C-alpha cells in the first residue's frame, strides 16, 4: 500500500536554525532517503518552497481566482513529503516515526487511494 507522509513544521522557527544545522539535517534526510530507496520503500520525496511562494487557485463557476500564499493560517506549514510503500499502517507509522523531519514538527500519514 502507498502512503503519503506529509511533513509539517513551523517555517518561522525553522528559519531561525543556523544554516550549518539545516545543512546537517538535510544531509541526514538524504542518507535516510537513500536507505529507504535501496529497500524499495521510498517512491518519491521532495522539499517544498516556503508558503510565501505558494499560490492558491480556486474555481468559482467559470472564474479562476488566484491568491498569494496558503489558504489557511496555521502554526505549522506543509514543507515537504515522502511517498512510501508499506505493507500496512503499522509499517507506515514505523517509517514515518523515523523520518528525520519528524524531529522538527509532525508527519501526517495519508493512504493513497488505489
What Cα–Cα distance (Å) separates residue 17 from each residue in 12, 22, 34, 80? 9, 7, 24, 17
> What is the band of 75 on the pLDDT scale with cuts at 50, 70, 90?
confident
Residue 60 to residue 62: CA distance in whole angstroms: 6
Instruction: Assign residue 94 the CATH number of its domain.
Output: 3.30.70.1060
> What is the band of 69 on the pLDDT scale with cuts at 50, 70, 90?
confident
At 33 the three-state DSSP class reads helix
Q: pLDDT tens-digit profile of 24-55? A: 988 999 999 999 999 999 999 999 999 889 99
Nearest by Cα to 7 from 81, 83, 87: 81
pLDDT at 72 over 80: no
Do residues 38 and 24 lie in contact, with contact meaning Cβ atoms separated by under 8 Å? no
Do residues 110 and 7 lie in contact, with contact meaning Cβ atoms separated by under 8 Å? no
Show the domain range for 24.
2-111
Q: Domain total for the chain?
A: 1
> What is the band of 114 on the pLDDT scale with cuts at 50, 70, 90?
confident
Nearest by Cα to 77 from 98, 47, 97: 47
Amino acid at each position: 500500500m502507498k502512503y503519503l507522509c506529509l511533513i509539517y513544521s513551523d517555517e518561522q522557527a525553522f528559519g531561525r536554525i543556523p544554516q550549518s544545522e539545516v545543512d546537517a539535517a538535510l544531509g541526514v534526510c538524504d542518507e535516510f532517503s537513500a536507505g529507504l530507496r535501496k529497500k524499495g520503500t521510498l517512491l518519491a520525496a521532495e522539499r517544498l518552497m516556503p508558503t510565501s511562494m505558494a499560490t492558491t487557485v480556486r474555481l468559482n463557476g467559470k472564474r479562476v481566482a488566484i491568491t498569494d500564499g496558503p489558504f489557511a493560517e496555521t502554526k505549522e506549514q506543509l514543507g515537504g513529503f515522502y511517498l512510501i510503500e508499506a505493507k500496512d499502517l503499522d509499517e507506515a507509522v514505523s517509517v514515518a516515526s523515523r523520518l528525520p523531519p519528524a524531529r522538527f514538527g509532525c508527519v501526517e500519514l495519508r493512504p493513497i487511494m488505489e
